[in-house]
Amino acid sequence: MITSPAWKDRKYAVLGLARSGRATVEGLLASGADVLVWDDRAEAREPFAGRSAIGNPLEADLTGYAGVVVSPGVPLNTHPIKPHADRFGVPVIGDVELFAQARTDLPPHKVVGITGTNGKSTTTALTHHILKQAGVPTTMGGNIGLPILEQDPLPEGGVYVLELSSYQIDLTFSLDCDVAVLLNITPDHLDRYDGDFQKYAASKSRLLTMQTRGHNSIARFTDARSLGNFAEGSIASILEDVLANRGIAGEEQADWPSLQGPHNRENAAAAIEICDILGLSSGDIRSGLQTYPGLPHRMERVAEVAGVAYVNDSKGTNTAASAPALAAFDNIHWILGGLAKEPGLGECEAELSHVKAVYTIGKAGPDFAALLEGRVPVERCETLDCAVSTAAAKAQAGDTVLLSPACASFDQYADFEKRGDHFRALVEGLK
């Protein structure tokens, strides 16, 4: 657990007691803070009875509080906690901001922060893997893995690798990453930003502007929104230049079994640049790329049945995320649909030559079917069960059945993980 004397004898309110909220309360209490906790679920509040004050921050006088700590799931543009805290001049923060405040009390270390609409989980996990394989003390957290405050502090020379969503950046003000990475910005989660793409882009870009002079930034040149937001005095790397200058060729990528497709070439380039900045040798970097096992639900090769490959890319929750998966394979039986985040096919349009047939599911299924009928064979399946069984019946040896829905899952599943798990179970049933 990460603790800090900076929190001792200070007052905090913690709203939401899911995993990151629980870890936050434990870290604050262990540091000697005075904590007010709340969750609408009585069972979530129960472990803190007698250990902290219990009460809803929305009903509390917050005078003198150092912060209200909320889950990234709390929508700041609509939730009443932000205007309530503002009345008392109290910042609304997240656990990553508390980690930032604790850094001066941790053994000397580096922090890598990675954001972007797509690719941040893979880039984070890949960077962590390369470092770990090279013998560097490292952990990953933020939007992936364990809550950062729940983890043990690293020894001197350690590297914290953080995946950061826009929601987490909104709640963070002093992180100052040694290496900050902005992979890309495409429309996503706009409901949290009043439908304004520029607000969303500005949120992502703030990861770079929090940096101080001499720290390293990595971003795409083609995203002009990021270029104008490099912190003054930061050492900027352009991702396209990394790809060109390091000669990351297709034939070398073939040696990275879990990093196929053009999007993973870009993710790998970012990880290579990060690790080079941190002083790793080219041999250690290459070894890490070759041994990286991949992440569940991100172009995860589930099985091969009767010569047909089944790939779980349930994390493809928008068209920009699904397009690279389409580009990575030929003769694709594409399972598409769910809760659409945008109209149309977006970047997937350019990859339709790779698609042999489409199987639509979920709320957006009829709209996608209408867009694609007459261009590629389409089966209106509605459910994933139907899509998998129908695709299995039609696919031939050498084909790929790809779940990359280009949509959120919430019309039929609790999250993309549950959707991917269901796909995996259905494929297992084909064997």
- Two structure tokens written together for 361: 């599911």
Q: Is 132 a catalytic residue?
A: no
Domain ranges in the chain? Answer: 5-93, 102-291, 300-428
Digit-by-digit pLDDT tens for the chain (431 residues) are 999 999 999 999 999 999 999 999 999 999 999 999 999 999 999 999 999 999 999 999 999 999 999 988 888 888 999 999 999 999 999 999 999 999 999 999 999 999 988 889 999 999 999 999 999 999 999 988 889 999 999 999 999 999 999 889 999 999 999 999 999 877 666 777 778 777 877 888 899 999 999 999 998 876 655 566 677 778 888 887 887 776 566 678 888 888 887 888 889 999 999 999 999 998 999 999 999 988 889 889 899 999 999 999 999 999 988 998 998 899 999 999 999 998 999 999 999 999 999 999 999 999 999 999 999 999 999 999 999 999 999 999 999 999 999 999 999 999 999 999 999 999 999 98
Q: Any catalytic annotation for residue 120?
A: yes
DSSP helix/strand/coil, 8 = coil
- Buried b / exposed e over 20-55, threshold 16 CB at 10 Å, is bbbbbbbbbbebebbbbbbbeeeebbeebeeebebe
Which ranges of 116-172 would DSSP assign to H, the alpha helix? Answer: 120-133, 166-170
Q: Which amino acid is at 118?
A: N
Which amino acid appears at position 280 of this protein? L
- The catalytic residue among 120, 204, 215, 354 is 120
- Listed in sequence order, the residues at least 6 apart from 157 whose beta carbon sits closer than 8 Å to its beta carbon are 107, 108, 109, 136, 137
Q: Domain spanning 102-291 has what CATH number? A: 3.40.1190.10
356 is catalytic: no
Spatial distance between the Cα atoms of 105 and 316, rounded to a whole number of angstroms: 39
How many helices (H) does the chain have, and how many strands (E)?
A: 16, 17
Burial label for 73, CB within 10 Å (0-12, 13-18, 19+), is exposed
Q: Which of 110, 118, 128, 143 is catalytic?
A: 143
Out of 84, 109, 132, 189, which one is annotated catalytic? 189
CATH number for the 300-428 domain, one of 3.40.1260.10, 3.40.309.10, 3.30.70.120, 3.90.190.20? 3.90.190.20
409 burial (CB, 10 Å; 0-12 / 13-18 / 19+) is buried
- Please state the CATH superfamily assignment of the domain spanning residues 5-93 in this structure: NAD(P)-binding Rossmann-like Domain (3.40.50.720)
On whether the CB atoms of residues 285 and 346 are closer than 8 A, the answer is no
